[in-house]
Structure 1
Amino acid sequence: MSSLQTRSHGDYTVGWICALPTEMAAAQGMLDEHHAVLPPRTQDNNNYAFGRIGDHNVVVACLPLGVMGTISAAIVANQMLSTFTRLRFGLMVGIGGGVPSEEHDIRLGDVVVSKPTGSYGGVIQYDFGKTVQEGKFTRMGSLNRPPDVLLTALANLEAKHMMEGHELAKYLREMMEKYPMNAQFTHPGIQYDSLYKAEYDHPSGQVTCEKCEGTQLVDREPRPSVDPFIHYGLIASGDQVMRHGATRNRLRGELKVLCFEMEAAGLMDCFPCLVIRGVCDYADSHKNKRWQRYAAATAAAYAKNLLNIIPGNQVTGTRTAIEATEENKSNSRDKHDDQNLHQHNHFSGNFNTSGGKAFYGGTYNSGGGPMSF
C-alpha cells in the first residue's frame, strides 16, 4: 500500500457508483492505476476505492450490501458529493435487464447506455406517477439528462465505434491478465443465452431452464462473434425487480425502453451522470445470475472506453456536479413559479354574445385578488 499514490479529495473529478460488489470489482479491474485510500468526510458512510483511468482521477463507491433501489443510490451519491466537492459528473455502471425487440437485437452481455430521447433525459422512472380514471396509470415528472461533456463524448464514441469497432474486448482481456483469478468475469458461452417468448413463464420451483420448453424459444440469427453490442436509448428505472416478460414487453411498447434497472432514477436529479448497464438477463421469469459478472465487466469496459476519449482539461474546465445540480434546481423552481403565475392569471366565467354585444361575466384573478366584471 505504501507504493500507491496519494491524492487529495479535490483531485477527483469522476464519481463511479455501483450497486453490487460484483460491479465494484469490475470497476476496480478497469482502473489504470490504484491510489491510496482517503478518509471520507464527516457523516459520509460510503467506503471508496480510488484510482485513475486515462486522464481522470476516479472515485468508486458501492451501495450498502443488500440495500438497493433509488433511495439508497441517492444517499450514496449525495454523500459522495459532500466529500468530493470537485467531481464534475458521475457514472452509474452495472447490470440490468435487457428488453429485446425486432428493432433492438439485445443479447446477454451487451451494453445499454442512457441516451436522451424525446422528452426524456435518458432515464424514465416508470413506477412513479398516479392512478387516474378507469385505473389508468399516469407517469409524472421527468429526470435530468446527462451533462454535455458526456453527451458530446457519447456522440464521438458512437461514431468511432461505427468506423473502427469498440475496444471492450481489449479492456476485458487486460483485466483478466491483471487479475487472472477473475475467470468468472469471462463470457459464459452462447449456449446459455436463451430468450423465451414473453408469454411463457419459467416453471415454478425450477432453478435453471433445463426443463423449460425448447419450443418456446425465440429464434434469433447467430452473431459472428461473442463481442458485445452497444445500444443507446432509454433506460427504465424503478424500485422493483422486473422479471415478467409480458410486462416487460408492454412497457417497451409504451416507453420504448431498452433496459430495466433499480438505481438510476435516484441519481439523475442530484448527481449529473450517465447510466451504463451490462445486460445480464431479459427482465423475465427466466432470469438467473449466470451472466452477472460478465455483464458487469462489459459495462465497466464501456465506461473505461468512454473516459479514455474525454480529455482531462475538458472535464476540469466544466462546472462541478454540485454547481450543475444547483442550477438545475434553480431552473426547475423558476419553471414551477412561471407555471403557478400562468395558473393564477386567468379568467373564470363565460362570454355572453347575445344580442350581438359581447360582455364577460366572471372574475379575473391577477394573483393579488379577484377583479369583478
Structure 2
Amino acid sequence: MIAERKDDHVRFAHEQQRRPAGANEFDDVTFIHHALAGIDRAEVSLATRFGGIEWPVPLYINAMTGGSEMTGRINRDLATAARETGVPIASGSMSAYFADAATADTFRVMRRQNPDGFIMANVNANATVDKARRAIDLLQANALQIHVNCVQETVMPEGDRSFGAWATAIEKIAAGVDVPVIVKEVGFGLSRETLLRLGDLGVRVADVAGRGGTDFARIENDRRDRADYSYLLGWGQSTPACLLDARDAGLPVLASGGVRNPLDVLRALALGAAAAGASGLFLRTVLEHGVPGLVALIATWLDQLAALMTVLGARTPADLARCDVLIGGSLATFCARRDISLTRFGTRSGVTADSEGDM
C-alpha cells in the first residue's frame, strides 16, 4: 500500500507540473538595477556555508520519493544528475523503508550512484532516534531532513492524526544523531514562531518549504474518493513570505517551494536563504527528458545564477542579502500584517556592516 501511495504522489506531482507555471509571490520581489554594480565573472563563487554545512553551490534537489520499483529508478536518475552537477540532494521520506526493509535499495541507490555527493536522508517527525540513525546509515547521509507535514497528513486518507509528540521527537533526534538536522515543511511554510521553537529544540537549519510549488493538499485530495478538502488548496505561507518572517528567528534557512528558475533562486538568496531547492520541475524534467535533460537544466541554472550575481556585484551567495530589492503586492501586505519592516530593503546596499544588525 505504501508503494502504491508513493507512485500516486509521483503521478499527481507530475500532473501538477505539466500545468502552465503561474505567478507566485517570488514575483513580488524586484531587484534594483545599478548599472555600475557589475564585477568580473571570475570573482564570483557559488559556494555557500550555513549551520556548519558547506555546499559548492546554493542549489539542491529537494526531497521527492522512494519506496517502490518506479520511485527507485527515479532516485537513481536524480542521484546521477546530482553527481554530474555537484548539487546536494535529499531522499524522499524513508517511511517505506521502516515499514518494509525490502525497499531499502530504492533509497540506497542514491549513494551508489553518487558516492561522494552531499546526500540528506529524510524521516518524518514521528521517527525515533533509532530510525533516524538507520536512515542516516542506509544512505551514509551527510545530513538528516525531518519533514513536518500535518496538513498533508490530515488530507491523506491513511495519514497520521496525532501531532502532539512531534516537537519532543525532533528534539530527541537533534540530540541523538551525529549529522546536522534540517527540519522542513512540505509546501505549507514555516512561521517565525515555528523557527524560534525549532532553534530551542536544537535544530541546526530549517527549510521553510512554503506554498507555491507542489501542493500536497491537492495531491492527497486527488487520492480521496471524495474531494472533501478541496477548500484547503493554497493553505499556508509562500516561500518568500517565510523568508521575510524568518529574519529575526536566528536560524539559518533554506528555501524551497515555488522555485521556478534561476531568478527565483536569486530572490530567495536575497531574502536571506543560504540555498534554494527545487523538486517538482526537476521531477518533471527527469521523467520527460531523462538524466541528460536534468543535467542540462541544472547546469544552465548554475551558469545563469553566476551570471546574474556578476551583474548584481555579488561575489558570494551571502552577498545577495545586501542587494537592493523592492517588495510589493501580496507579499508586502503579508509583511505589513506580520509587522515586518520593508523600509530599508530598497537601500541596503549602502548600509554599513556595523549598522546591518538594525535592519
Query: Do they fold alike, i.e. is TM over 0.5?
Result: no
User: Highest CA radius of gyration, 1 or 2?
Assistant: 1
- Taking structure 2 as the reference length, what is the TM-score of the superposition? 0.26
Q: Which has the higher helix share?
A: 2
Whose relative contact order is higher, 1 or 2, with alpha carbons under 8 Å and at least 6 apart? 1
- Taking structure 1 as the reference length, what is the TM-score of the superposition? 0.25
Q: Which has the higher strand share?
A: 1
